[in-house]
Chain A
Amino acid sequence: MKRRMKKLAAFGLAITMTAGLLAGCGNAQSDGDKAESKDSDKAAKGDKTLEVEVIYTGEPLDQFREVLDGFTAETGIEIELVTPGSDYEAVMKTRMASGEMPDVFVTHGWSIARYKEYLTALNDEEWYDRIDDPVLPIISDDDENIYVLPVTQVTNGIVYNKTVLEKAGVNVGDIRTMDDFKAACEKIKASGTTPIFVGGKDTWTAAVLYNAMAPAFYTTEGCKYPSGDELKDGSFDWDTKGSCVLEEIADMVQAGYFNKDLVTADNSATLTALGEDACGFSTEVEIVKVLNVAPDAQLGIMPIPCTTEEGKSQYMIGEGSCFGIWKDTKSMDEAKQFLNYLSTPEVADKIMALDGGLPALKDMDTENVSYKAFSESQEIFDGDIFYDNLFDREYFPSGMFNADADAVIEVFMDPSEKGVRAGLEHLKNTFQDKYVAAE
């Protein structure tokens, strides 16, 4: 009898496990059913819950949690915060492939080129009229629809250490062309400090360097090889004009303007070097992040110098903290309520403080460190600044970023003609491949 009971219990357990497994793994559920079960989960919790996915890590993430607590206290809506950190992009790509996006997420520069199909148009929101004029074209598609609430914008230029430049006798206002920039690097090198620091172990930093230098050759007003339209329509001739950026980087490597460990240092080493007066320039950092490491560092930002005497210097303006709503979210009202909350000036200022960007809404605080440095450079370079979107977002097909990094790393490893040719091959092949794929 006892044995029989044991057998029955064992079979019962096996059946329960199998049934549980099938229920858990089955994907025959319709979207509606899924939504219902999600909603019932939320009902069980007694509150509405929004899933929010952000790119922040470390201290900024803690500060963002405080912002979310304020929202929950005000509305009673719970936030389920997802923070994949450096894997943000990979996680978002996986979620796009599975068709299960978070209710609200940060678009990190890709609201139009990558995420548009997954986002809700937000032109009718009450904060629309408060969007800063230069930001609107960056986040609008051809039909003038916008898909994100832009809280901050990023400015890509060159962050510099004032103490180092002063010691080397470099006046930042005199740097108007690439030749001026190289002359400044020569002075800094002569003063015993590394002119430019790159944390190439994190390969994205090499891509950022390429995307900072390329506009000076191809897209800035008065640049050497104006090619914006060709880059956009895929007809760009890589064989005649493609190598100039890499050649310039190769010259700088050969001249010894970069740190010795430029392919093995990581991005945190750049923050430290810039903060501790151990290098002059960097294209890969934000002032606020350096100040988190070294609060007393004297830093400034300058636009990218042009390749010609008559050309303008350039700032690339892109999406900073921009929040979009998944078009198929079952919590659309709550998500819009959340965006309204983020758009209030006091909350938007908190987000600007944590991400170190510039205000993207008209009535935000303009007293923060980043904005002050940016305004200072606008005064120094008054009348000589050309503003454009981030280079790769505007002129390259999606998926080129890694090829930019590969090309620059090739040159870092071998700054000879051979290295430049190898880098050019990466760019040319990937551009053609991605452009054909985009067609």
Chain B
Amino acid sequence: MRKRAVKMSCFYIPAICLILFFVVRPFCETVYVSLCKWNGYSPQKLFIGFENYMEMFSDKRLLTAFINTLIYGLVSTVFQNVIGLGAALFVNSRFKGNNLVRVVIYMPIMISSLIMGYIMYFFLTYDNGVLNDILGAFGMGAVDWLADGKNGVLFITLINTWQYAGYCMIIYLSGLQNISKVYIEAAQIDGAGCFARFRYITLPMLIPAITSAVMIDLVGGLKIFDGIISLTNGGPNYSTHSMMTYLNSQYFLSEKAGYASAIGITTFIMIMAVSLFSNRYFERKSIDM
């Protein structure tokens, strides 16, 4: 038995090698760079200890990016899952045009986030923007929708929600289709109403699907990048940056590779902590139910 386990363990080697070369090694290098003052391309790196990490505490723009990241991650996740679950329940019932509805809800995910950002930019732009043209048709004045960072954050969150809600729908749909009708029918016989059936049968049995959908959305939301670049480019005045886009601007535009690496390490720890916490929470829920 032990011999067989050793043999089977050999199959891990390619994956371990991949992780070592493409995750562990760059991560260690990034940790070292985060302790240096470096412009990102010159051969000289100046070791400065934890100065980059200290600088993060006094960087107001980073604080904005941090708050935005939480909004993009958490708020998008909540909305995507609520909408995704609602849509899944809706399309799980039999009606004419069911497949068409599924396709329409799922379709936005087939467009890359970058392209989606550009499409939405043309909707929201001040001059000749679709939204302003509609306002104009009703005799109303044009609005520079993205001039206020708060609006920008709202639009990015909504667009992200809309784009990925279809993905949640598919996950929940597969979860719903795995629930045996026997339970529902038994509950119906016992006189359980629509809400009670959902609360005490459907929802508990969907916990594995909820775990998958939440984790995927959460990590995706916390790492959001291309949609921001194409819609607002992090502006105006850094007000819509996420941690990832801010990191990019610090590394390549401000030539502060050390500082950007420190942000990267911190973001990594943040995402890992949120993911572990969420995973534990859902595991506990799964056992409780």
Q: A residues bordering B, Cβ < 8 Å?
A: 7, 10-11, 14, 17-18, 21-22, 25, 89-90, 92-94, 96-97, 114, 117, 200-203, 259-261, 263-266, 269, 273, 398-399, 401-403, 406, 409-410, 412-413, 430, 434, 437
Contact = CB atoms under 8 A, between A and B. Distances in A.
Contact of A269 (B39, B46, B127, B233): B127
20 contacts: A18-B13, A18-B14, A18-B17, A22-B17, A25-B22, A90-B251, A93-B41, A94-B40, A96-B42, A97-B257, A260-B144, A261-B125, A261-B127, A264-B145, A269-B127, A273-B127, A399-B39, A399-B254, A413-B236, A434-B255
A22 B22 CA distance: 12
A202 B233 contact: yes
Most buried by A among B37, B236, B252: B236
A430 B249 CA distance: 14
A14 B14 contact: yes
A263 B236 contact: yes
A21 B235 contact: no
A246 B251 CA distance: 25
Contact of B252 (A21, A90, A398): A90
B237 interface: yes
A409 B41 CA distance: 27
Interface in B80-137: 121, 125-127
A418 B85 CA distance: 48
Interface of B: 7, 10-11, 13-14, 17-18, 21-22, 37, 39-43, 46, 121, 125-127, 144-147, 232-233, 235-238, 249, 251-255, 257
Contacts of B146: 201, 264
Chain A, interface SS category: helix
Given A117-B43, A265-B127, A402-B253, 7 more contacts: A11-B10, A92-B41, A96-B42, A97-B257, A259-B127, A409-B237, A437-B46
A386 B128 CA distance: 40
A264 B144 contact: yes
Contacts, number: 102
Contact of B236 (A7, A22, A200, A259): A200
Contacts of B17: 18, 21-22, 25
A424 to B, nearest CB: 15
A406 B233 CA distance: 13
A260 B126 contact: yes
B10 A89 contact: no
A18 to B, nearest CB: 5
Contacts of B238: 406
A22 B249 CA distance: 33
